[in-house]
Amino acid sequence: DIAFVRERLAEYEVLVAGFYRNRGEPEGERIRLVNAYLLYPNTLGGEVAHQRLEAMGVDFALLEDNPSLTAVDNVVPGKVPWADR
């Protein structure tokens, strides 16, 4: 059912946001949380994303008016620790 799929997709976005947070990539975390919040607002994952974004001080009105702030393509990953080996 579509509601189940939407819940899983929202959970996935929040999970990936956690991955970015754990790697010290706040922009990646923010973008994934914004995606969950905007794409799946009526899901548990969307609610969790909203709460985390609120704690980060994100301006929600700005997000809804500027789609470029939600583009995963804008994430520039940091240097990985093993790159110099």
pLDDT digits (tens, 9 = 90+) for 28-78: 899 899 989 988 889 999 999 999 999 999 887 877 677 666 665 554 555
pLDDT at 80: 54
pLDDT (tens digit per residue) in 12-33: 999 999 999 999 999 889 989 9
Q: Do you know the residue count of the chain?
A: 85
Q: How far apart are CA 32 and CA 27, in angstroms?
A: 9
Say if pTM beats, i.e. exceeds, 0.85. Answer: no
51 vs 1: CA distance, rounded Å = 26
Judge whether residue 84 has pLDDT over 80.
no
